[in-house]
Chains A and B, each alone.
Chain A
Amino acid sequence: MSSQAVFKNKWLPIALITPQLLITAVFFLWPAGQAIFQSFQLEDPFGLSSEFVGLENFIHLYNDSNYLDSLFTTLQFSISVAFLAMISALILSAFAEHIVRGSLFYRTFLIWPYAVAPLVAGSLWLFLFDPTIGVIAELLQWFGINWNPTLNDAHAMWMVIITSTWKQISYNFLFFLAALQSVPKSLHEAAAIDGSGPVKRFITISFPLISPTSFFLLVINFVYAFFDTFGIIHAMTQGGPGRSTSTLVYKVYNDGFIGLNLGSSAAQSVILMIMVALLTVFQFKYIEKKVAY
């Protein structure tokens, strides 16, 4: 976008952006500054004594195999969630676009999970997956799978991936549906006249045209899996069994709020902050420049 508004008055633009800047300062810059400050300290929980330790908290993380495990767990989890949530949402929206009768009904139903709070979604699915009383667990056992997420790492991981995916599908669905609806009908009509079927038309016409939306969603889904799944993990596995579902954000919470290790927790937050910054830069760079019609 290159359209620029020109303000004659010097103070008006400043007055207009001040509230936004204030909010950013109070709710982002200040806490972020605190986190950076804390990450260089070793402090007792009550804040009665603190010691400047430089990069020690970071070095400790670098040498901590648990932290690296957690990073790997997070990547595994985020890639799975982003991939599954986008694929299923794309398929659903492709179908939903073709439905004429009752389309409103289907769309509303597909959007519903988005309104469910993560903690509630976690509790709900935990119930379904419960090895003793859960419906899904019973089904899996019927198929001969000895379902036990309290002990089996892979089972626990799948459980949180599926729940997190389920919650994110709605969001992706909305965007995909909007994107698909904005694909010019004329292109489809022309292709249909040339004899290509709906699947081929979807792959060769719609899919390339919605690539900016897909890319945007990819970044959003990653951010979601990284940060917004805390409630789900907290409700379902608390990071267990072992450390198998302890993602980076969960570890920040556990070390900081439960373990009261503020220095390490702050160092981890700073690392996460850098990651988000990178993701955002990446998104702006590509969405604005590379991915276009």
Chain B
Amino acid sequence: MSIKNLTGLAVAATLLSAQVHAKTEVEWWHAMGGNLGQKVNEIAADFNKSQSEYEIKPVYKGSYAETMTSAIAAFRAQQQPAIVQVFEVGTATMMGAEQAIYPIHELMKETNESFNPNNYLSAVTGYYTTNDGKMLSMPFNSSTPVLYYNKAMFKKAGIKSAPKTWQEMEDVSVKLLASGAQCGFSTTWQSWTQIENFGARNNIALADNSNGFDGLDTKFKFNSAPFVDHIAQMAEWSKSGIFKYGGRQSKGMPLFYTQECAMTMGSSAGLAGIQENMKDIDVGVAELPFDDTLISTPQNTIIGGASLWVLRGHSDEQYKGVAEFFTYLSSPKVQADWHQFTGYLPITKQAHALTKKQGFYKTHPGTETAVIQMTSTKPTVNSKGIRFGNFLQTRDIINEELESVWSGDQSAQVALNNAVRLGNEQLRRFERTQQ
């Protein structure tokens, strides 16, 4: 190689690296570990390759709670990332911090990025949208609880189809126990599945003020008769072995993996984990049961998971990058891939249609259940979503009180009364800090 060539190379290298440095960096803090984290990195890398102006840098920050609290701490120290993934229970806290967040509808408008909120599934965006229809954060990974059942155990007990109502849950469980199963069903995320989604599915309010959407002076009312009856019924069932409690969050999954329980209720995004832990076992996915004494046609369920919030304090350049990235992220191709890989819901109608067209639901039975459950009815005020300040603490309170019901220390009525009282204290504190 001659000197000339070398010089040329050096010049080219300098130019290239200068170009690399000229890219506007956008930090994205997220809580996706393991396989999901790799997928997030892949999405960011693909976006970075697709254009030359911006560079999205995903940073894994630990659990949802850790990601949110570190973003808040970073904001206080003026070191905040441009994008942060916040779980659904943090929504009200983020919304309350008006000076800290950059609402998506404003961002997209001010950066002249084409954006149509109607492309998104309303059951998903409802959670992150103000009452006058303005989208505040970008839906990213949304899931909803479904019913998983062990087909082999069902066959052994002579059961033909998955239970649809809570009454059928009991009948099916009794048959299962008679056929030698140790437990009928278990549940994960008890507050989410047995309180929040029980309310949505049966169209009963968890709180006044349209489940918190209409103002900060919300009061909980999930100690009303339908909730108390449901929890009392589950306490009864836990004595007879129909229901078995396995712990908070998704700690109860091993009960289903080890085939101790024939059914469990969990996040639709848990399917990949089930298939990994139950390789040779045929698992069915059904819709979340409803109470046919309360409602004849069940409502949609509400979501869990997280959305992407944009924080203030960055340059216009960076926000332009954020907006372009969000457009990329919402594209049918990226969304369909994310949905198929993770089991999270597709957040746009186009992604759902594309997945269907690709024949994914045929080759992966059960993966469409959650989408159907979310989209078959129009969300009502009780099933649109919930918006409660300090809801993470209230969920903890609900967990604690429900555990005392399962262990027989308290009646369902007393426990739910306590949870409502303590939860209201949280709402009042949040209300005060928002003034």
Which residues in chain B, 80-106, are within 8 Å of chain A measured between CB atoms? 93, 96-97, 99-100
Interchain CB contact (< 8 A) of B76 among A47, A150, A259: A47
Which range holds the interface residue count of chain B? 35 or more
- A260 CB to closest chain B CB (Å) equals 7
The yes or no answer to A258 lying at the interface (CB within 8 A) is yes
The yes or no answer to A151 lying at the interface (CB within 8 A) is yes
Return the CB mask of B55-89 against A: 1 if under 8 Å, else 0.
Answer: 00000000001000100100110000000000000
The yes or no answer to B366 lying at the interface (CB within 8 A) is no
Interface of A is mostly: loop
The yes or no answer to B222 lying at the interface (CB within 8 A) is no
Query: Which residues of B have CB within 8 Å of A45?
Result: 72, 93, 97, 433
Return the CB mask of B418-435 against A: 1 if under 8 Å, else 0.
Answer: 000010001001001111
Q: Is the CB of B434 within 8 A of A151?
A: no
- B412 CB to closest chain A CB (Å) equals 15
The yes or no answer to A288 lying at the interface (CB within 8 A) is no
A36 to B390, CA, bound (A): 23
Q: Is the CB of B390 within 8 A of A259?
A: yes
A185 to B2, CA, bound (A): 84
Query: Which residues of A have CB within 8 Å of B434?
Result: 44, 49
Interchain CB contact (< 8 A) of A240 among B399, B422, B429: B399
Given A42-B433, A44-B433, A132-B254, decide whether A151 and B393 contact each other with a Cβ distance below 8 A.
Answer: no
Interchain CB contact (< 8 A) of B258 among A132, A242, A257: A132
Q: Is the CB of B429 within 8 A of A133?
A: no
Query: Which residues of A have CB within 8 Å of B433?
Result: 42-45, 49, 51
A204 to B96, CA, bound (A): 67
Which residues in chain A, 95-144, are within 8 Å of chain B measured between CB atoms? 130, 132-133
Query: Which residues of A have CB within 8 Å of B100?
Result: 46, 48
Q: Is the CB of A49 within 8 A of B393?
A: no
A240 to B404, CA, bound (A): 10
Q: Is the CB of A258 within 8 A of B392?
A: yes
A254 to B396, CA, bound (A): 9
Instruction: Name the CB-closest residue of A to B406.
Output: A151
Query: Which residues of B have CB within 8 Å of A42?
Result: 429, 432-433
Q: Is the CB of B72 within 8 A of A242?
A: no
Q: Is the CB of A150 within 8 A of B246?
A: yes
Return the CB mask of A53-84 against B: 1 if under 8 Å, else 0.
Answer: 00000000000001000000000000000000
Instruction: Name the CB-closest residue of B to A50.
Output: B433
Which residues in chain B, 231-259, are within 8 Å of chain A measured between CB atoms? 245-248, 251, 254-255, 258
Interchain CB contact (< 8 A) of A259 among B75, B393, B406: B393
Given A150-B246, A151-B245, decide whether A260 and B254 contact each other with a Cβ distance below 8 A.
Answer: no
Q: Is the CB of A46 within 8 A of B72?
A: yes
Given A151-B403, A259-B390, A259-B392, decide whether A48 and B99 contact each other with a Cβ distance below 8 A.
Answer: yes
Q: Is the CB of B97 within 8 A of A243?
A: no
Given A43-B433, A45-B72, A152-B407, decide whether A260 and B396 contact each other with a Cβ distance below 8 A.
Answer: no
A261 to B392, CA, bound (A): 11
Query: Which residues of A have CB within 8 Å of B97?
Result: 44-46, 48
Q: Is the CB of B248 within 8 A of A238?
A: yes
The yes or no answer to B208 lying at the interface (CB within 8 A) is no
A242 to B75, CA, bound (A): 33
Query: Which residues of B have CB within 8 Å of A66?
Result: 422
Query: Which residues of B have CB within 8 Å of A51?
Result: 432-433
- B259 CB to closest chain A CB (Å) equals 11
Query: Which residues of B have CB within 8 Å of A153?
Result: 407, 409
The yes or no answer to A212 lying at the interface (CB within 8 A) is no
**The 3 nearest A-B residue pairs measured at CB:** A259-B393, A44-B433, A241-B403
Q: List 14 A-B contacts (CB under 8 A).
A: A43-B433, A45-B72, A45-B433, A51-B433, A132-B260, A151-B406, A153-B409, A240-B248, A240-B400, A242-B404, A258-B69, A259-B392, A259-B426, A260-B392
Question: Which residues of A approach B to under 8 Å, CB–CB?
Answer: 42-49, 51, 66, 130, 132-133, 150-153, 238, 240-243, 254-255, 257-261
Question: Which residues of B approach A to under 8 Å, CB–CB?
Answer: 65, 69, 72, 75-76, 93, 96-97, 99-100, 245-248, 251, 254-255, 258, 260, 390, 392-393, 396, 399-401, 403-404, 406-407, 409, 422, 426, 429, 432-435
**Known pairs A150-B245, A259-B390, A260-B69. 11 more at Cβ < 8 A?**
A42-B429, A44-B96, A46-B100, A48-B99, A48-B100, A49-B433, A130-B254, A240-B248, A242-B403, A242-B404, A260-B390
